Amino acid sequence: MPEVPLLKLENVGKEYFGNRVLAKVDFSLNRGEILGLVGENGAGKSTLMNILFGMPVISGTGGYEGNIVLDGRVVRFNSPFDALEAGIGMVHQEFSLIPGFSAAENILLNREALNGSILELVFSERLNTLDRPAMRRRAARAIQTLGVDIGVDTIASEMPVGYKQFIEIAREIDRTRTRLLVLDEPTAVLTETEARILLDALRKLADGGISIIFISHRLQEVKSLCDKIVVLRDGNVIREESARSASIRDIAAWMVGRQVDDSRPPRTGKVSDEVALSVRNLWVDMPGETVRDATFDVHRGEIFGIGGLAGQGKLGIPNGIMGLSPSGGEVALFGKKIELDTPRKALDSGMAFVSEDRRGVGLLLSERIDWNIAFTGMQVQNRFLRGIPGLGNLVRIRDDAAIAEETERYIRALEIRCTGPGQRAVELSGGNQQKICLAKAFSMRPELLLICEPTRGIDVGARELVLNTLRRYNEEYGTTILITSSELEELRSVCDRVAIVGEGKIAGILPATSPAERFGLLMMGAVGDGDEAAQREAAGNA
Partner 1 sequence: MLKKFIATAGWPRVIIGLFLFALFVAAPFVGVRISTSLSDTLVRFGMNGVMVLALIPMVQAGCGLNFGLPLGIIAGLLGATTSIELGVRGALGFAVAVGLSVPIAAVLGYGYGQLLNRVKGDEMMIATYVGFSSVAFMCMAWLLLPYKNPTMVWGYQGSGLRTTISVNEYWFHILSDFFSFKIGTFYFPTGMFLFFGFMSLLMWLFMKTKTGTAMTAVGSNPEFARASGVNVDRMRIVSVVLSTIFGAIGILVYQQSFGFIQLYMGPFYMALPAVAAILLGGASVNRATIFNVAVGTFLFQGILTMTPSVINSVLKTDMSEVIRIIVSNGMILYALTRKAQVKR
Ligand X SMILES: Nc1ncnc2c1ncn2[C@@H]1O[C@H](COP(=O)(O)OP(=O)(O)OP(=O)(O)O)[C@@H](O)[C@H]1O
Give contact residues for partner 1 (rule: CB under 8 A): 17, 322, 324, 343-344, 347-348, 353, 355, 360-367, 371, 375-376, 378-380, 382, 385, 388, 395-398, 424
Query: Residues 36-65 vs Mg ion: string with x where CB under 5 A?
Result: ----------x-------------------
In this structure, are strands 7-16 and 88-91 parallel, antiparallel, or unpaired? unpaired
DSSP 427: G
Among 191, 429, 443, 474, indicate the residue that binds ligand X (CB under 6 A): 429
Judged by beta carbon, residue 66 or residue 151, the one nearer ligand X is 66
Please state, as a whole number, how many other Cβ atoms lie within 10 Å of the Cβ of residue 194: 21
Residue 381: count other Cβ atoms within 10 Å of its Cβ: 15
Contact 370, 403 (CB under 8 A): yes
Query: Mask 72-101, x = binds ligand X (CB under 6 A)?
Result: ---------------------x--------
Contact 290, 313 (CB under 8 A): yes
215 vs 351, beta carbon nearer partner 1: 351
Using DSSP, state whether 349 is helix, strand or coil: coil
**Residue (of 197, 254, 210) closest to 88 by Cα position:** 210
Give, to the nearest 10 degrees, the angle between helix 430-443 and helix 460-477. 0
How far apart are alpha carbons 119 and 306 in whole angstroms? 56
Tell me how far, at minimum, the Cβ of 428 lies from ligand X, in Å: 5
Q: How far apart are CA 457 and CA 217, in angstroms?
A: 7
3-state secondary structure 204-264: HHHHCCCEEEEECCCHHHHHHHCCEEEEEECCEEEEEEECCCCCHHHHHHHHHCCCCCCCC
Q: Which is nearer to ligand X, 396 or 424 (CB)?
A: 424
Rule CB under 6 A: say whether 56 interacts with ligand X: no
Q: Does 39 bind ligand X (CB under 6 A)?
A: yes
5, 162, 430, 446: which one contacts Mg ion (CB under 5 A)?
430
Stretch that binds Mg ion, among 241-249, 403-411, 430-438, 509-517 (CB under 5 A): 430-438
For ligand X, the closer CB: 290 or 469 = 469
Q: In terms of CB distance, is 89 or 316 closer to Mg ion?
A: 89
User: Residue 363 binds which one of Mg ion, partner 1, ligand X, none, with CB within 5 to 8 A depending on kind?
Assistant: partner 1
Q: Which does 125 bind (CB under 5 to 8 A by kind): Mg ion, ligand X, partner 1, none?
A: none
Stretch that binds ligand X, among 40-48, 271-279, 398-406, 515-523 (CB under 6 A): 40-48
Backbone angles phi, psi at 108, to 5 degrees: -100, 10
Q: Report which of 87, 171, 95, 99 is spatially closest to residue 135, judged by C-alpha positions.
A: 171
Judged by beta carbon, residue 38 or residue 351, the one nearer ligand X is 38
Between CA 388 and CA 90 the distance in angstroms is: 51
Residue closer to ligand X, measured from CB, 336 or 412: 412
Q: How far apart are CA 130 and CA 181, in angstroms?
A: 27
> In 3D, which of 299, 296, 346 has the Cα closest to residue 320?
346
Residue closer to ligand X by CB (options 66, 343) is 66
Q: Which residues bind Mg ion (CB under 5 A)?
A: 46, 93, 429-430
Q: Which residues bind ligand X (CB under 6 A)?
A: 16, 21, 39, 41-47, 57, 93, 417, 427-432, 457, 459
